[in-house]
C-alpha cells in the first residue's frame, strides 16, 4: 500500500545521509512518492533533511517542497535566489502550487521570481492567481485544464487533447468554450469514446455544467463540490469566461484545515498548532486563552466578593459555585456549537426568532429536568430546602440565559465577519460563568435572606 515509515527506518536513513552514503538510498528515494519523501524529510534531523532535499532532481524536489512543513520549506528556500526558484522550482509546479509558493516568499523576492519565469504564459497565469484574495475560489484554483472549442469536431478534439494532455498530469474533465473563451459545457470521456470522429463537438457536449465564480468563498466552493459530488469544478470570471479549475484534493485540504481551526478555537487554542511544535509555540497558542480565563476568574471573584456577607452567614452557598458555573458554560457551548456548525454548512433554516424560540424550548426542557434533579439530589444529600430551591432556581435561570447567549454570540460575531467558532471557546464559558454567579447569589439573597 505505502511504505511504512518507522522510527528505525528513519534513524538508519539519517545515519546514511549524514555519512554521505548516497548510493545506499538514492534509488529508493527516486522510486518513492513525493508525499512519502516529504514525510521522511519532515521527520528526520534538519541537517540530514536538507542534504536529502538537495539531492533530489528538480521536478521531484519541487513536488516534495510543496508537501513539507511550512517552516522547513521557508528554511530550504533561503538557500535559493529568485532566479533558481523560478527555473528549478516554479517551472516544475502546477500553477496553483506555484502561486502558493510565491505567496510564501518575502515580498521583495516575489517580483524577482516572477520576472525569471521563462514561459511567459505561465508567468502571466501565476501573476493572475496571486491577485485573488485568500479564501476565494480564485486562490484555490489552478489554470491547467483541457479545453476545446464548440466549433471543432471530435477528431480535432482528440488531437488537441493529445497535445494538451502532455502538459497535464491528470485529465479530470474536458471543457467546451466558444471563441471568446466563454464556458459552454463539458464533454464527457464517455461521449468522446463512443462518438464518431467526424461529429461536431457542438452536437455532443453537455451544457449542464456546474461551475463556480472566481469570487465565491472557499467554504462555499467546498459545500458546492460536496453537495454535487464533484471531483473538479471549473471556475469562471464574472462574465462567464473559463479561467481555471479547482480539484477536490485542494478542497479536502481546505475542509480539514477549517474543521481543525474550529476544533482548536473550541478547545482554546489559537493558530494551527501541532503536537510536534516546540514548547514555545504551543505555549503561544494556549496562553492567550488561559489569560482570558484568568481574568474571567478574577472578575468572578469580585462578583462573588459583593456577596461576602451572604457567604459568611450561609457558607453552604459557596458549595454550589462550581455547579452553577460549569452548567452555564456547558449549556452555552452546546447552544453555540450548533449555530457555528449551521453557519459553516450554510444550513441554518428559518429566521432568528424561530431559532431563538426553539433554543428556548430546548433550554426550558433541559432546565426543568435538571432543576428537578438538583432539588431531589440536594435534599437527599442533606442540604436545606431553601438552599436546594436557590440552587434549582438559579440553575434554571442560568441555563436559559446561557442558551440565549450561546445562540446570539456566534450570530453576532458572524455578522461582524469574526469567525463564529470563537464563541464556543473559553470566551463564552467565562462570560456565562460570571453571569451565572451573579444570578445565583442574587437569587440566593431573595430566597435565603
Which long-range contacts (C-beta less than 8 Å, at least 24 apart) are formed by 192-199?
192/154, 192/157, 192/158, 195/154, 196/154, 197/153, 197/154, 197/155, 197/158, 198/153, 198/154, 198/155, 199/153, 199/154
Of 41, 176, 187, 324, which lies in the binding site for a second copy, with binding defined by CB under 8 A? 324
Of 287, 412, 418, 446, which lies in the binding site for a second copy, with binding defined by CB under 8 A? 287
> Minimum distance between the CB of residue 419 and a second copy, rounded to whole angstroms?
14
The 3-state DSSP class for residue 119 equals: coil
**What residue has cell string 463512443?**
194
Nine-digit cell at 445?
439573597
Give backbone dihedrals phi and psi of 3, rounded to 5 degrees, phi first: -70, 150
Of 20-49, binders to a second copy (CB under 8 A) are: 33, 35, 39, 43
Which of 26, 86, 17 lies closest to 58 in space, CA to CA?
Answer: 86
What distance in Å separates the CA atoms of residue 250 and residue 70, rounded to the nearest whole number? 16
What distance in Å separates the CA atoms of residue 430 and residue 427, rounded to the nearest whole number? 5
Q: Work out whether 158 is an interface residue with a second copy (CB under 8 A).
A: yes
3-state helix, strand, coil in the chain (%, to 5): 70, 10, 25
Of 48, 89, 177, 304, which lies in the binding site for a second copy, with binding defined by CB under 8 A? 304
The 3-state DSSP class for residue 271 equals: coil
Q: Work out whether 302 is an interface residue with a second copy (CB under 8 A).
A: yes
Q: Assess contact for 324 and 394: CB atoms under 8 A.
A: yes
Q: Work out whether 322 is an interface residue with a second copy (CB under 8 A).
A: yes
Of 56-75, binders to a second copy (CB under 8 A) are: none
Containing 150, the helix (H) or strand (E) segment is none
> Minimum distance between the CB of residue 357 and a second copy, rounded to whole angstroms?
10
Binding mask 241-280 for a second copy (x = CB under 8 A): ------xxx-xxx-xx--xx-xxx-xxxx---xxxx--xx
Nine-digit cell at 358?
426553539
**Count of residues in contact with a second copy, rule CB under 8 A:** 124
Q: Work out whether 231 is an interface residue with a second copy (CB under 8 A).
A: yes
Q: Work out whether 145 is an interface residue with a second copy (CB under 8 A).
A: no
Of 51, 72, 77, 323, which lies in the binding site for a second copy, with binding defined by CB under 8 A? 323
Binding mask 177-196 for a second copy (x = CB under 8 A): -----------xxx--xx--
Q: Work out whether 379 is an interface residue with a second copy (CB under 8 A).
A: no
Nearer to a second copy, 124 or 155 (CB): 155
Q: Work out whether 385 is an interface residue with a second copy (CB under 8 A).
A: no
Of 341-370, binders to a second copy (CB under 8 A) are: 341-342, 347-350, 355, 358, 361-362, 365-366, 369-370
Nearer to a second copy, 8 or 78 (CB): 8
Nearer to a second copy, 86 or 245 (CB): 245
Nearer to a second copy, 116 or 366 (CB): 366
What distance in Å separates the CA atoms of residue 288 and residue 269, rounded to the nearest whole number? 8
Q: Work out whether 433 is an interface residue with a second copy (CB under 8 A).
A: yes
Q: Assess contact for 209 and 229: CB atoms under 8 A.
A: no
Q: b/e string for 85-102 if b means 16 or more Cβ within 10 A? A: bbbbbbbbbbbbbbbbbb
Of 408-427, binders to a second copy (CB under 8 A) are: 424, 426
Amino acid at each position: 500500500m505505502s511504505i511504512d515509515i518507522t522510527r528505525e527506518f528513519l534513524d538508519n536513513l539519517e545515519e546514511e545521509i549524514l555519512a554521505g552514503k548516497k548510493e545506499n538510498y538514492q534509488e529508493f528515494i527516486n522510486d518513492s512518492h513525493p508525499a512519502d519523501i516529504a514525510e521522511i524529510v519532515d521527520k528526520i534531523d534538519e541537517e540530514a533533511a536538507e542534504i536529502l532535499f538537495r539531492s533530489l532532481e528538480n521536478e521531484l524536489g519541487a513536488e516534495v517542497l510543496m508537501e513539507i512543513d511550512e517552516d522547513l520549506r521557508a528554511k530550504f528556500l533561503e538557500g535559493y535566489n529568485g532566479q533558481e526558484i523560478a527555473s528549478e522550482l516554479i517551472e516544475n509546479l502546477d500553477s496553483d502550487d506555484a502561486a502558493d509558493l510565491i505567496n510564501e516568499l518575502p515580498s521583495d523576492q516575489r517580483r524577482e521570481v516572477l520576472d525569471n519565469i521563462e514561459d511567459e504564459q505561465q508567468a502571466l497565469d501565476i501573476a493572475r492567481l496571486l491577485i485573488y484574495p485568500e479564501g476565494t475560489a480564485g486562490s484555490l484554483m489552478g489554470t491547467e485544464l483541457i479545453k476545446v472549442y464548440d466549433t471543432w469536431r471530435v477528431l480535432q478534439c482528440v488531437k488537441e487533447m493529445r497535445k494538451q494532455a502532455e502538459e497535464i498530469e491528470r485529465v479530470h474533465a474536458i471543457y467546451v468554450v466558444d471563441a471568446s473563451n466563454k464556458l459552454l459545457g463539458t464533454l464527457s470521456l464517455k461521449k468522446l469514446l463512443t462518438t464518431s470522429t467526424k461529429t461536431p463537438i457542438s452536437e455532443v457536449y453537455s451544457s449542464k455544467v456546474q461551475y463556480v465564480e472566481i469570487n465565491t468563498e472557499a467554504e462555499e466552493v467546498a459545500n458546492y463540490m460536496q453537495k454535487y459530488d464533484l471531483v473538479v469544478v471549473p471556475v469562471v470570471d464574472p462574465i462567464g469566461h473559463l479561467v481555471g479549475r479547482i480539484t477536490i484534493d485542494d478542497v479536502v485540504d481546505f475542509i480539514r484545515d477549517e474543521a481543525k481551526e474550529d476544533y482548536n478555537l473550541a478547545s482554546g487554542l489559537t493558530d494551527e498548532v501541532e503536537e510536534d511544535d516546540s514548547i514555545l509555540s504551543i505555549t503561544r497558542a494556549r496562553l492567550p486563552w488561559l489569560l482570558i480565563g484568568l481574568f474571567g476568574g478574577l472578575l468572578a471573584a469580585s462578583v462573588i466578593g459583593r456577596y461576602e456577607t451572604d457567604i459568611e452567614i450561609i457558607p453552604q452557598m459557596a458549595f454550589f459555585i462550581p455547579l452553577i458555573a460549569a452548567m452555564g458554560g456547558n449549556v452555552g457551548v452546546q447552544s453555540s456549537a450548533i449555530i457555528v456548525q449551521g453557519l459553516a454548512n450554510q444550513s441554518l433554516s428559518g429566521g432568528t426568532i424561530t431559532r431563538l424560540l426553539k433554543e428556548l424550548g430546548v433550554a426550558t426542557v433541559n432546565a426543568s429536568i435538571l432543576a428537578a434533579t438538583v432539588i431531589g439530589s440536594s435534599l437527599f444529600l442533606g442540604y436545606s430546602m431553601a438552599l436546594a430551591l436557590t440552587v434549582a432556581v438559579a440553575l434554571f435561570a442560568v441555563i436559559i440565559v446561557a442558551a440565549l447567549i450561546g445562540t446570539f454570540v456566534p450570530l453576532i460575531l458572524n455578522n461582524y465577519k469574526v469567525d463564529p467558532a470563537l464563541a464556543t471557546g473559553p470566551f463564552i464559558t467565562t462570560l456565562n460563568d460570571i453571569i451565572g454567579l451573579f444570578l445565583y447569589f442574587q437569587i440566593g439573597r431573595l430566597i435565603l435572606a
